[in-house]
Structure formats: structure tokens, C-alpha cells
Structure 1
């Protein structure tokens, strides 16, 4: 860890900030999309499924380039947003957006599977007893799907921390502004004599990933116990 520079430590903190912002904003959208995929009956469902999966199958650089074309300062939407003071390109908020887009499929899938695994008869009984759609969702569906929501949030966070291709294409790697942990690792590997820094940064990235996986497992088990009404 002594090999890390102040810029490296700042990059680690920025990555955590970016990932947290991506999950806070993206998770409610992921839950809504997962519900639509699991319970929806509409013609455009196949299109929705394809759009959700797209960030996983496209090269991350291509995703970043599309974001730049759409939300860059001269992009289709970005030029208008800049007139009202909203800027994504070459700003940490853009890094959070790119990371959130790349992490989105990993958030949606476990939530969708958890919702599909819930007993529809419980929901139907609640409906016959007069419970409205929102009541059934927040009192029945969401608690039962809590393990999937927890897993999706934590895995999405880990993916957002490690996102590189889309982020560097959309917001570059400006120290103190958009230089995230993966960008710092790449910069260290390209600098002669910086092998120790690269190893230390990789160790930090690995530690974050391991903690995220363990937290995902623990959160899933806790949420499953809570859904069953168990204590401890």
C-alpha cells in the first residue's frame, strides 16, 4: 500500500463514490424493469429484454461511445442538458452514469429471478382481499424478492467499481475528476517502473471485489431469513 500515490488513493475513493451513486440511482430503476420483465405482459417485452442485456454483449468502449454521442457536450441530448447546467461528459457524474449503465444488467437479472420465484398465489390472495397493486408490491413481492435485490445491488456495486472501457471513453481519465481505480491501474501498467503501484492497485481492486461477493452472499442469506420471518 505504501506504493500508492495520493492520486491513486483519490482514484480509489472516486471509484467508490461513482459506484455508490450508480447504485443509488440505478437500483430503483432496476427493480421496476425487473418487475416489468417478470410480470409484464406486453408486446415490447422482447425489446426491453434486449435493451437490458445490451451492455453485457456490446464492447464497453462502444457503450461509452454511444453515451458520448448521446450525452456529450455536443451530443443529441447533452447539448440541451448543458444549457440547463447538467453536464455528464468529462465529469464524475458521467463516470457514475457509465458505470451504472454497465452494471444495470447485473442488477436486473437477480432481481428478476427472485421476483419470478415468488409464489403468485400469495399475491392473488392479497388481491382478492382488496390489496392494491402498490400495497401488494411493497408488502409482498418486494420482501419476498429481497435476497435478489440485495444481490443485485452489491454485484452491481462491484461491477461499477471495476468499470473501465465505457468510463474512460465517455469521461476520459482526468486526475481528481474522472480518474477511477481501473483507469489508475491501466495508467500504472503503462508507466515504466510503476509495477509496484499497479500491483497495489490491483490488490485494492481484488479486496473490494472479494468484500462485495461476501457481502452479497451474506445479504442474500439475511434477506431470505427476514422474508421467512426468522430472527438472527
Structure 2
């Protein structure tokens, strides 16, 4: 009895029952998807030219979007967590807005700004630079929706870490840039790993903003989620097989975020 209690964290039984129901809400549809996979045709379905082109494009654009999220998100998270700039709450609201916006609204916002007749897009078009309905548009759409995930991960870690180590380094004569490079960033590595994995997974699964802002041109803007959507009416078996590929990649990303969380907890202890 004592062993069972320790395994459940001494939680009341109703909590465990409701938690089990929550697991079923997620696990049953995933199981249903796996049971519908035509495993005998699986290699053929996921290696067709259209499927491979969509998968390669998704991996390339998601990697580029994740890199942009890291380059932009880490400084942004540091500003949100450590600075006392006026209007910081409004700035945080703007940065986190894509978390709650429907993806298609995000795509419309990008299109009205960077589209051919958009506020900035018209000027870019006049200079001979096209953004909308190109591979660059895919990367921008993925970055737009993924950046808040990395910012939240880093900002939370910065607030949890506190400033005691930086203060000690400063009293020893270290310059702000040195403190950032030698103290702050190493402390944030586990959170950076978690945020990077989340941003990559979100970029890989992006659909609505990409379709609205970049369209669906094979080899140029048709990512794996778009290919899955298009195959839904043409070949349901291919749809299920490609969905499993995306599910597998997402599962790997979730496992990576859990590893980062465990390392962060060990570091705090």
C-alpha cells in the first residue's frame, strides 16, 4: 500500500481518475490513427516524390525558422525578463499574441504587411523583391507562430535563475558582455534546448499561416502539413501515412523537451 501511494504521489483517487480520462482524450485518437495506417504500403506512400519534396521542404524551412527564433528570441526574452523599459507589458502582449491568434489570422496579418499590395510588400515589389508565396514566406510564417514558444521558455528560465550569479561575476570585474557570455547563457542552455525543440515542432506543424501567406506550390511552399491536407481527398492512405511521419517527428521533439526539463531540474537541485 505504501509503495502504491508513493508511486501516485499521495494524490486522491478522483484526481487519478480524471487524469486518466485526460490521457485517454489524447491517446485514443493517436491510437486510432496508428490502427488505420496501411503498413504494407507505408514505405511506398511516404517515399513518393510529392511526399519527399514536402518533407524535405518542411525540414529545411523549420530549421531556418528555428534558427531565426533563437537569434531573435533569446535577446527578446532577456529584455522581457530583466529590463525595466516602459511599456514592457504591452511589448510582452505583442510578442505572445501569435499564441492565441488563429493561424489563418496570422497569415492574413503577414499577407497584408508583406504581400504584393501590402504595407511593406508593395515597396519591396517595387524594388524587385517578392516575399509572399515564396519559400521565404514559409520561413517567415513559421517564425511568426513559433517565436513565442521559445521566448516563453527562455524568459521563464531567466526569471527562475535569478541574478545572483551575474551579480557575483560583476563584483569580480566582469563586463556585461562577459557576464552574458560566460554566466547567463550557460545557465539558459537547458531552457534553450527545450525552447528550440518546441519552436521546431511548432514550425514543422504550421499550416494555416503558411497556406494563407505562402500558398501551396510543390517544391516551393507546399510543406508536409499542406501535402497531408491535399492528399486527404485524393489518397486517404497517403494522408494517414504522412500524418504518422509528422506524429513521429513531433514525438521526438516532445521527448527532447522533456529531457531539457529534467536537466534543468537537476541543475536547480
TM-score, length of structure 2 as denominator length:
0.79
Bigger Cα Rg? 2
User: 1:220 deviation in Å?
Assistant: 5.0
CA 1:24–1:85: 2 relative to 1, 3 Å: farther
CA 1:223–1:93: 2 relative to 1, 3 Å: farther
User: 1:119 deviation in Å?
Assistant: 3.3
Within a 5 Å distance, the mapping from 1:98-137 to structure 2 comes to: 98-137=141-180
1:81 aligns with 124
Structure 2: stretches of 5+ with no match in the other structure: 1-41
2:101 aligns with 58
Q: Helix, strand or coil for the counterpart of 2:45?
A: coil
1:44 aligns with 87
**Would the aligned equivalents of 2:207 and 2:225 in 1 still touch at CA under 8 Å?**
yes
Within a 5 Å distance, the mapping from 1:1-232 to structure 2 comes to: 1=42, 2-4=44-46, 5-191=48-234, 194-221=235-262
User: 1:17 deviation in Å?
Assistant: 0.6
Task: State how far apart, in whole Å, the 1-side matches of 2:251 and 2:244 are.
Answer: 10
Task: State how far apart, in whole Å, the 2-side matches of 1:85 and 1:24 are.
Answer: 26
CA 1:52–1:9: 2 relative to 1, 3 Å: same
Structure 1: stretches of 5+ with no match in the other structure: none
Q: Helix, strand or coil for the counterpart of 1:190?
A: helix
Task: State how far apart, in whole Å, the 1-side matches of 2:150 and 2:165 are.
Answer: 25
Task: State how far apart, in whole Å, the 2-side matches of 1:81 and 1:156 are.
Answer: 28
User: 1:38 deviation in Å?
Assistant: 0.7
Larger deviation, residues 125-134 vs 95-104: 125-134
Instruction: Report how many residues are paired.
Output: 225
User: 1:57 deviation in Å?
Assistant: 1.0
Q: Helix, strand or coil for the counterpart of 1:176?
A: coil
Task: State how far apart, in whole Å, the 2-side matches of 1:163 and 1:220 are.
Answer: 24
TM-score, length of structure 1 as denominator length:
0.91
